[in-house]
Amino acid sequence: MNGNTSILLLSVGHACVDVYQGAVASLIPFFVAERAYTYAAASGIVLAASLLSSVAQPLFGALTDRRALPWLLPVSTVLGGLGIALSGLTGSYPLTLVFVAVSGIGVAAYHPESARIARIAGRGSHTAMSWFSLGGNLGFAAAPILVTAVVATGGLHHSPLLVIPALAGSVLCLPVLRALGRTGPDQADPSARSHPQATDNSSPSMGTHEGTDDKNSFVKLSLAVACRSIAFIGLSTFLAFYVRQRTGGGPAAGTAALAVLYLGGAVGTVLGGSLANRWDRVTTVRRSYLLSVVAVAGLVFVPGPAIYVFVALTSAGLYVPFSLHVTLGQDYLPSRVGTASGITLGLAVSIGGLVSPLLGGLADATSLRTALAPLILMPALSWLLFRKLPEPTPPTSLSAAPRPPVATQAARSPGSLG
């Protein structure tokens, strides 16, 4: 299997997982409508999905730094879908929280190992990682459409149908794992030869790359990722309600806004990889956060249909950095690629949910616009954190070493993702 095919399958599998991150926000209006939840109670569901995921994500990353766990990809994909599928079957609020939390754990388990395997298949390419990240963003984009198609027609008791993408994603990742498993760790990652203690001879591993960890830069990057996550999850949790208020539209207006938010992210992710090749990653991320400040302000304060323009700009601005965060984290922390991947790829999505109940409580006490206004500060803080960050040099093993069999054909092809 060539590198292009591996990245494509991993990207589609990523979409099948991240449907369930987008599904949480997409289900909120239906929980409110059928179960009369307050904003605070509804945002508690987002918290349930995020809390365990936020804790588990770095733990899974650290675990995969010690040993390759490729079986996590199919298992975690199914777990993520199963939790969401069951969440609509019970009227019990605590059980709903439990099922959504189970889905969050599945998503947390998926991201560190999948990012490691995508890095192997793409040979550390920014473009390859952007395509892998694009899959997740398309999953987000599909979530409101999928949830509305399933739940709006038959109510929350039709939610078991939402497990279908998980079943498909678990199957799609298997050919990639078999192909990488046949190469062996020494071929899949040349640096593993100099660090045999970090490899597992039975499965693909990134091993431990040469280079010195820049922990100070990684901490600043992680804080910027957290600020970006707070802005994005805060907006996605309440956007459907807010757009309906600002436009006077019905449920379709809110669903359309979520779709724009997630589809704009798909464009931003691909654009991020291209711009990073033209400038550099740090410059690209810094400029995108400046755009995001203006875009979020417009989303919060501009009324009427023009709000959709600012939703799209916000999405692009917040998603241009998405895949670049991952490769920057991996290069700032070359000895702990799994941990770096877990924090920058998975925690980037989940940690914002920890703040959502505060926004929900503020919205109940005041208004949605008052609750969303502080989110304008989040991309501004991310910009400040990126002002002094250096552009790291990727490990030489990803660019100088002979390409493994899984990527050989991609290197020869004019259309290679690398």
Q: DSSP letters of 341-397?
A: HIIIIIHHHHGGGGTHHHHHHHHHHS-HHHHHGGGGHHHHHHHHHHTT---PPPPGG
CATH no., domain 3-412: 1.20.1250.20
pLDDT recorded at residue 183: 60
**Tens-place pLDDT, residues 3-62:** 688 888 999 999 999 899 888 888 988 888 888 888 888 888 887 877 777 777 778 888
**Tens-place pLDDT, residues 318-343:** 989 988 998 899 899 988 888 887 78
**Does residue 397 surpass a pLDDT of 90?**
no
pLDDT recorded at residue 328: 93
pLDDT recorded at residue 307: 93
* Residue 350 pLDDT level (bands cut at 50, 70, 90): low
pTM of the model: 0.69
**Tens-place pLDDT, residues 131-184:** 888 888 788 778 888 998 899 887 898 999 999 999 999 999 999 888 877 665
Distance CA 168, CA 377 (A): 39
Closest CA to 347 of 213, 222, 262, 166: 222
Distance CA 159, CA 175 (A): 29
What is the token pair recorded at 371? 């609750």
